[in-house]
């Protein structure tokens, strides 16, 4: 008796499921996809910057620092009549075929890289696929901080535009890898700040 009762309940459930499967049901309208319009509105509300966005590590929305974006009333400053200063040449301007190459030992990553003098320490590490910390890429924060284990950082590096480290910190070997160009072989400890 139990087998017949169980079998009949099983058959009844199967018939009900088949009937529900083939029934027409109610019409449900699917709303339009609004994701593209939301992305476009979001893009219009974000200010343009003069530096590349640091992927998912943006701090403060990636807005440019005060005075970085030129406007109509922009002062001429030290450059005078809109000409370029002769002292403003960056190591990044050195042609690749003329750049001297230095051996940089990235201590925490356990590898030594040959880094040309026209490439930052951060860029060299990123080319290896390492997830090195950074935020502004302009030397205006401490996110990309590193430490030169061999001595004062200015003995081994040229800083192109760093604004965060004072002379004592540079003397202690601290550096900002996003604006640090090598000038000698050295050992670097990444993710170190004063």
The partner residues of 181 in beta bridges, in order of sequence, read 158
Q: Locate tokens 């593209």: which residue?
A: 36
Element (H, E) at 166: none
CB 179 within 8 A of CB 98: no
Q: Which residue from 47, 67, 49, 43 is spatially nearest to 135, judged by alpha carbons?
A: 49
pLDDT of 72 > 80? The answer is no
> Mean pLDDT over all residues of the chain?
80
Radius of gyration over alpha carbons of the chain, in Å?
A: 30
Work out the average pLDDT over 111-132.
Answer: 92
pLDDT band at 73; cut points 50, 70, 90 = very low
């Amino acid at each position: 008796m139990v087998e017949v009762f169980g079998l009949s309940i099983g058959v009844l459930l199967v018939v009900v499921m088949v009937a529900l499967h083939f029934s027409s049901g109610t019409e449900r309208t699917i709303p339009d996809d609004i994701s593209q319009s939301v992305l476009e509105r979001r893009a219009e509300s974000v200010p343009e910057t003069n530096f590349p966005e640091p992927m998912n590590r943006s701090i403060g929305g990636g807005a440019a620092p005060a005075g970085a974006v030129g406007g109509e009333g922009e002062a001429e400053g030290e450059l005078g009549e809109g000409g370029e200063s002769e002292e403003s040449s960056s190591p990044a301007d050195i042609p690749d075929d003329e750049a001297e190459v230095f051996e940089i030992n990235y201590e925490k990553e356990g590898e030594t890289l040959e880094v040309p003098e026209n490439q930052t320490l951060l860029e060299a590490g990123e080319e290896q696929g390492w997830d090195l910390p950074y935020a502004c890429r302009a030397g205006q924060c401490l996110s990309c901080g590193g430490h030169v284990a061999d001595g004062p950082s200015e003995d081994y590096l040229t800083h192109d535009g760093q604004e965060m480290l004072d002379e004592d910190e540079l003397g202690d070997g601290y550096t900002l890898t996003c604006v640090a160009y090598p000038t000698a072989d050295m050992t670097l400890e990444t993710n170190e700040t004063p």
